[in-house]
Structures are given as C-alpha cells and as structure tokens.
Amino acid sequence: MTPSSIPTLRLSDLLDGWPFTRMINPHHEEVAAESAEWIEGLDSFDEAYLSIFKKCNFGLLGSLAYPNASREHLVIFYQYLAT
C-alpha cells in the first residue's frame, strides 16, 4: 500500500479551545524522543509508515491520558502503541 492509497481521516485540533485544565505527564518530552528512536531502530517500518506514524503523536495521547504515570509506565504505553 502506498501513502497516497491509504485512506485518511482528518480530525479537527481537539486540543484547540480545550475547556478543561490540561495535565500532561512531566516525562513526556524525554520519553517521546526516546521512544521515537526506539521505533526507528526496529527497522520494521518503511519511511512512509514512519512518517504517518509520527503525525499521530501517540506520545502526546499517552501523556494526556496518563498524566501521573511513572516514567517507566509511560515508556511501556508508548511502545505498546507502536507495535
């Protein structure tokens, strides 16, 4: 499947105008960067897939969903989403 043949679904920016107090895990930046390197190091995905995957920003999802998780638990969540 080529990137141009992959169906897409575009959502509006869900965080724009978010009415609630936003809590983000304090380990987000570090763990997101570390996990991105881990995913790229797997050599399991082609460049097109990696490009699409990075746009999903699953790290931010995990950090917002689990703002109080330990660093170790956040790493597990990020890597779970990647596989």
Quote the CA–CA distance of 69 and 4 in Å, as a whole number.
37
Run of H or E residues at 32:
helix 28-41
In terms of pTM, does the model score above 0.75?
A: no
Sign of CA dihedral 1, 59, 78, 20: negative
3 vs 29, 43, 47, 76, CA distance in Å? 28, 18, 10, 28
* Segment 47-72, tens digit of pLDDT: 888 888 778 888 888 899 999 999 99
Run of H or E residues at 16:
none
